[in-house]
Amino acid sequence: MGTPETGAAAAPMVSSKPRRMPLVTFNDLLWMLYLYPIGWLARVLPRSLLYAIGRLANPIVQFHARDRRAKAAAWIAAACGTTAEHARKIAADSLSHNLFGTLDDLLLVRPGSDSMLCCDGVEGLHHLETALARGKGVILLVAHFCANRIALRYLAMRGYAALTVHNRQPTNVAEGRLGREFLQPRRIGLQRRAFPEHVFVQDAECTLKIMRRLRAGGLVMLQMDGRAGTNPIEHSFLGRRRHLASGVFEIVRLSDCAVVPTLCLGRSDGLRICFDPMLEIVRGSSRDAFVSANLSQFLTIVEKQVIANPEEWRLWNHSLAWRV
């Protein structure tokens, strides 16, 4: 199944041109199964049975994504400096984690789902408290890890509710018209129910809402490794040239907020969250000066997180992640 990719508040207001696509694809059928029979069952099934369904579906998902996995393995081997065999295992594990993360989304829309979240540990909470004490808001800087969504809900439950940015129109090259027109809006609707505090990257008001939250001294979770919308920054990331979103830098520059690197790992039955000390932001008068002074620091942190936990990064198998 394709994974939605969310950039950091930098997409243009206008939508891109529609592309020609088949009526139905295998990917659409997988999403149909996910949203309906599995989605309905998830309302009543215990988590262990839902995960059992996930284990049954995993070989199908792995087979469906075999070409993407092969490409991802080559990238993983180069980026993580590991053997081809280990890289193939990481690519497969990344897909599995993504699958279980998607199943966790179904759990999150259940009434009383907060009580189902099991956290194995939160490290560095004092770093977050220190950053909040500045009173200018805090950006939780994360990469596209599978556990981010669960962590958002857990943190909200602990009194650290964070605004997050979603993509209303994630690009998925494997979907057909059924997926694009019918299933995708329902997937997005499911996300909206699971995460009431969000803003869509396509909204004209996206960064204003983020700024509003920061000025109120609140939290915003932003994914640093999102695909760029407008004003992209071309830079090497995990050994490849990528167009990265510049929006996060503009938000930090203009808000003077704190930035706390955050790592979220695991699943709903065993979540771990780690907050690092807040970054020393180098102030710059212009956008370009600010980006060149801080880009390397931001990217290095995210790259280290991914290389240390490659099997939990969602974008290895994402075709858009390969594009410059």
Partner 1 sequence: MEPLPGMAGLRSPQTLDRIRRVFIESLHLNVQGEDLADLEQLKEAAGLDSVAVLEFVAALEKEFDIRLEPEMLTIEVVGDLKQLAAYIDERSAQGRPPLESPA
CA distance 242 to 164: 23
By the rule CB under 8 A, 222 interacts with partner 1: no
Q: Is 291 in the site for partner 1 (CB under 8 A)?
A: no
Q: How far are the Cα atoms of 36, 111, 280 from residue 293, in angstroms, in the given order?
A: 48, 45, 11
CB of 250 to partner 1, least distance (A): 5
150 binds partner 1 (CB under 8 A): no
Binding region for partner 1 (CB under 8 A) out of 10-18, 33-41, 61-69, 265-273: 10-18
Contact 303, 75 (CB under 8 A): no
Size of the site for partner 1 (CB under 8 A): 29
CB nearer to partner 1: pick between 141 and 251: 251
Helix (H, G, I), strand (E, B) or coil at 261: strand
- Judged by CB under 8 A, the residue of 205, 239, 277, 308 near partner 1 is 205
Tell me whether residue 199 or residue 265 sits nearer to partner 1 (CB atom): 199
Task: Establish if 211 lies at the interface with partner 1 (CB under 8 A).
Answer: yes
| Long-range residue pairs from 47-51, CB within 8 A, at least 24 positions apart, any chain | 47/107, 47/116, 47/268, 47/269, 50/103, 50/106, 50/107, 51/100, 51/103, 51/269
In three-state secondary structure terms, 8 is: coil
Q: How far is CA 71 from CA 77, 177, 210, in A?
A: 10, 26, 35
Is 209 near partner 1 (CB under 8 A)?
A: yes
When binding is defined by CB under 8 A, the residue of 40, 256, 308, 323 that contacts partner 1 is 256
Q: Are 99 and 62 in contact (CB under 8 A)?
A: no
Using the contact rule CB under 8 A, the part of the chain among 53-61, 188-196, 202-210, 259-267 near partner 1 is 202-210
Which residues are at the interface with partner 1 (CB under 8 A)?
9-14, 201, 203-209, 211-212, 215-216, 229-231, 246-247, 250-251, 254, 256, 283, 287
